[in-house]
Amino acid sequence: MTVPASDRERAERLRRALEHHNRRYYVLDDPEIPDAEYDRLLRELQTLEADYPELVTPDSPTQRVGGEPLASFAEVEHRLPMLSLSNAFDEQALRDFDRRVREGLATDRVRYSAEPKLDGLAISLCYENGTLVRAATRGDGHRGEEVTAQVRTIQSVPLRLRDLEREARWPALLEVRGEVFLTYERFAAINARAQRDGAKVFANPRNAAAGSLRQLDPRVTAARGLSLFCYGLGAVEGAPWSESHSDSLARIAAWGLPVSPEQQCVEGVEGCIAYYAAMAERREQLAYAIDGVVFKVDVFAQQRLLTEKAQKRRKGAENRNPAWAIAFKYPAEEALTTVEAVEFQVGRTGALTPVARLAPVALAGATVSNATLHNMDEIERKDVHVGDTVYVRRAGDVIPDVVRVLPERRPAGAEPIALPAHCPVCHSDVLRAEGEAVARCTGGLFCAAQRKEAIKHFASRRALDIEGLGDKLVEQLVECGLVADPADLYGLTLEQLSGLERMGKKSAANLLAALDRSRQTTLARFIYALGIREVGEATAQALAAHFCDLDALIEAPESALLPIEGIGPVVAAHIQAFFSQPHNLEVIDKLRSPALGAITWERPAAPEDDGATVAATSPLSGKTVVITGTLDRPRDEIKARLEALGAKVTTSLSRKTDVLIVGAKPGDNKLKHVEEFGVEIVNGERLAELLGAWDARDHAGSDG
Ligand code: IVH
């Protein structure tokens, strides 16, 4: 079938248009038309090519992703070796390089091309008569792997070079070299997807870029969204050519190849140093990773002279690093080390943060021996064991992070990391509430790590409102050892206070008066002041209104907390954990003791028609109860009901016992001391009455 001339022309025009818009979008980052318009043009070309297959050209924009997966990568020999760069890690090494260059050229000052050192992998692109014919990885510098099909999927790589006027045309054979890399955004998307699919997660963008390019199936490469910047030339034949590196980059950019917009020429070593510093600043704003900057003697004739001299010095031996270029590296931000131990630090709010103790390693210009593991979820997600080899990363001044474990290097018998049951600072229980990543110490009133925050909160306006006791003063009091918990505030004397720095007699007296005023408060404020996790003002008010009594709250089982508005299982767990810590109870007792804190509040009026009414007004409210003998319901159920009525149920009879509930076959031991301790006896019938009253009210409450 012959193709009508008009269709042939239309196909050619569409190809030119698509190449043009592709360059605007992917190379210049400056599109002229909406994506939908681009798609329309592409579809039109696809339709034409489907109607007339002979219209298809290998460099047609429709042919980026094509063909079957490869069986293996073919080997490619580079016409000119792909060299690497010498590195400078400090200014002195850079100055030494510049001195060698100046001596070699017998000149005072040299012009350098300065460019970012992209952290990806080197690639060679061969264009014959303007068409991309081959792409290859660096390999060992002499032989690499052919990845043409994969590189064709990189949208910024032109399949055909732009045609310019005669004297500015590309040479018949043009090899350009550059770096394939991934933006942070693409890298994150690839890893997010890998994580979702349970596939391998990459440690950094460079590994992900290499893994994406070396895919036998180019469709996989296409989906990864690789980028490319060209930074130099390889073999070139058959055209007038340029005199300098910077000019050659400008030319290849004009032919449609992507070149870093950060490239610029600088004068002398001082220009290099300034560029290095400026790039260090810009680095954070770049969308991709760079690990240094590269300086190249700009004038080709000077490059050649330096290469010849170096070759003479080396008596013709192979030169892997050109004498005319150097990479000035930024301090490494990622390093490999081992986890020697994991310790838990307690923060000022009681949060436990696992910290990895590492074998010391040089990282970003410092020696690093600690890294944060954030929380237990992170440890589980990264599956960190003591003894593991890990990647650590440091970004800016923050504490280094453990990025990833190398499971293949895990020694036999490596220990998984367990959350400690007790706070490493105060030994109170550690609570990790259901569904929460963060584990916390529950000894909020007592724990030395939480001291300052606990006291600041206790004194704050909506808590006990101790006027004049600001954050600074709290810190001062804790630091000089006068106060370790909120109760200690009430033991402060005028002498102690006026002895403090920046504290006059008058302010000291004012503070004592304010402390005195704070002694008369409300139950709601007091509960709020305790700083129980998740118990804000509203919850504190609800708790005060419901229990009317602090001891009833302290003893309340979960079943008595859950019916209260705003309290779910997590808040209930925090409340119970807080009151189950003996140290917290000690501080509360000190606060209430007439000899020390002497804090008091009026018993809140019992609300009407609320389950709490029962607890507050029941004859068992606040009573310590012991059960003996068999009753007509399970002991646990009776215990729960008694507790809901405000009773505290204990197992052994003592002088503190108020009531003994006696069922069938009571224990002799218990009855023996009844008279001596003055305990009231409640039999099964009376108990049924009391619980019945509860049942009736409970129903009235939930219906009304
Ligand atoms: S020039 C003859 N320029 O760094 C010089 N390399 O250690 C050859 N790289 O293999 C390289 N950014 O993969 C040059 N602007 C840049 C670069 C750069 C990254 C990589 C490249 C090379 C390695 C050298």
Which of 176, 249, 257, 294 should be mutated for ligand 1, with most atoms under 8 A from CB?
A: 294
Is residue 268 within 8 A of residue 105, CB to CB? The reply is no
Evaluated on CA atoms 63, 64, 68, 70, the torsion sign reads: positive
Is residue 252 within 8 A of residue 230, CB to CB? The reply is yes
Outline which parts of the chain fall under CATH 1.10.150.20.
430-601
Contacts of residue 689, defined as CB under 8 A and 6 or more positions apart, other chains included, come to none
Angle at 573 between CA 569 and CA 577, to 5 degrees: 175
Q: How remote is the CA of residue 117 from the centroid of ligand 1, in Å?
A: 6
3-state secondary structure of 119: coil
Report the C-alpha gap between 365 and 183 in whole angstroms. 25
Q: What is the 3-state secondary structure (H, E, C) of 400-463?
A: CEEEEECHHHCCCCCEECCCCCECCCCCCEEECCCCCCCEEECCCCCCCCCHHHHHHHHHCCCC
pLDDT at 617: 56
**Residue owning the nearest CA to atom 9 of ligand 1:** 117
pLDDT at 230: 98
pLDDT at 704: 26
Q: How remote is the CA of residue 191 from the centroid of ligand 1, in Å?
A: 26
| DSSP state, residue 106 | T
Ligand 1 atom closest to Cα of 232? 1
Is residue 177 within 8 A of residue 122, CB to CB? The reply is yes
pLDDT at 612: 47
3-state secondary structure of 533: coil
Q: What is the tens place of the pLDDT at every residue in 676-688?
A: 777 888 888 888 7
3-state secondary structure of 340: strand
Total H helices, total E strands in the chain: 26, 26
| Mean pLDDT for the stretch of residues 541-554 | 95
CB atoms within 10 A of CB 99: 11
Ligand 1 atom closest to Cα of 122? 13
Confidence of residue 363 (pLDDT cuts 50, 70, 90): confident
Query: Which helix or strand (DSSP H or E) is residue 9 part of?
Result: helix 5-22
Is residue 659 within 8 A of residue 687, CB to CB? The reply is no
Predicted TM-score of the model (pTM): 0.57
pLDDT at 610: 46
Q: How remote is the CA of residue 122 from the centroid of ligand 1, in Å?
A: 7
Angle at 273 between CA 267 and CA 276, to 5 degrees: 110
Ligand 1 atom closest to Cα of 115? 15
Q: How remote is the CA of residue 159 from the centroid of ligand 1, in Å?
A: 23
Report the C-alpha gap between 679 and 656 in whole angstroms. 9
- The topology under which CATH files domain 5-65 is Helix Hairpins (1.10.287)
Report the C-alpha gap between 112 and 94 in whole angstroms. 12
656 flagged as catalytic: no
Q: What is the tens place of the pLDDT at every residue in 553-575?
A: 999 999 999 999 889 999 999 99
Is residue 138 within 8 A of residue 144, CB to CB? The reply is yes
Q: What is the 3-state secondary structure (H, E, C) of 235-278?
A: EEECCCCCCEHHHHHHHHHHCCCCECCCCEEEEHHHHHHHHHHH
pLDDT at 696: 42
Outline which parts of the chain fall under CATH 2.40.50.140.
334-416
Outline which parts of the chain fall under CATH 3.30.470.30.
86-329
Report the C-alpha gap between 651 and 648 in whole angstroms. 10
Q: Which two tokens stand for residue 412?
A: 């036999």
Which of 3.40.50.11540, 3.40.50.720, 3.10.450.230, 3.30.470.30 is the CATH number of 86-329?
Answer: 3.30.470.30
3-state secondary structure of 571: helix
Q: What is the tens place of the pLDDT at every residue in 67-94?
A: 778 888 999 999 999 999 999 989 999 9
Class assignment of domain 610-703? alpha beta
Outline which parts of the chain fall under CATH 1.10.287.610.
5-65
Which of 124, 142, 231 should be mutated for ligand 1, with most atoms under 8 A from CB?
A: 231
pLDDT of 411 above 60: yes
Which of 83, 117, 142, 318 should be mutated for ligand 1, with most atoms under 8 A from CB?
A: 117
pLDDT at 272: 98
Share of the chain above pLDDT 70, in %: 95
Is residue 82 within 8 A of residue 124, CB to CB? The reply is yes
Walk across the sheet containing 131-137 and list its strands.
Answer: 131-137, 121-128, 173-181, 227-237
| Mean pLDDT for the stretch of residues 483-494 | 96
pLDDT at 359: 96
Cα 78 to Cα 70, 123, 177, 319, 416: the distances in Å are: 21, 11, 11, 16, 48
CB atoms within 10 A of CB 453: 18
Q: Residues in the chain, how many?
A: 704
Question: What dotted CATH number matches 430-601?
Answer: 1.10.150.20
Q: How remote is the CA of residue 22 from the centroid of ligand 1, in Å?
A: 26
Torsion of CA 624, 629, 634, 637, to 10 degrees: -10
Question: What dotted CATH number matches 334-416?
Answer: 2.40.50.140
| Mean pLDDT for the stretch of residues 98-113 | 96
Cα 632 to Cα 1, 51, 332, 594, 688: the distances in Å are: 98, 89, 74, 43, 9
Query: Which helix or strand (DSSP H or E) is residue 99 part of?
Result: helix 91-105
CB under 6 Å to ligand 1: residues? 83-85, 115, 117-118, 122, 138, 179, 231-232, 294, 322, 325, 327
Report the C-alpha gap between 281 and 564 in whole angstroms. 55
pLDDT at 482: 96
| Mean pLDDT for the stretch of residues 490-517 | 94
Q: 630-647: b or e for each residue (b if 16 or more CB lie within 10 Å)?
A: ebeeeeeebebbbbbbbb
pLDDT at 152: 95
pLDDT of 697 above 90: no
pLDDT of 415 above 70: yes
Q: State in Å, rounded, how far the first CA of the chain is from the last one.
A: 87
Q: How remote is the CA of residue 366 from the centroid of ligand 1, in Å?
A: 26
Confidence of residue 607 (pLDDT cuts 50, 70, 90): low
Q: Where are the alpha helices (DSSP H) in 333-399?
A: 376-382
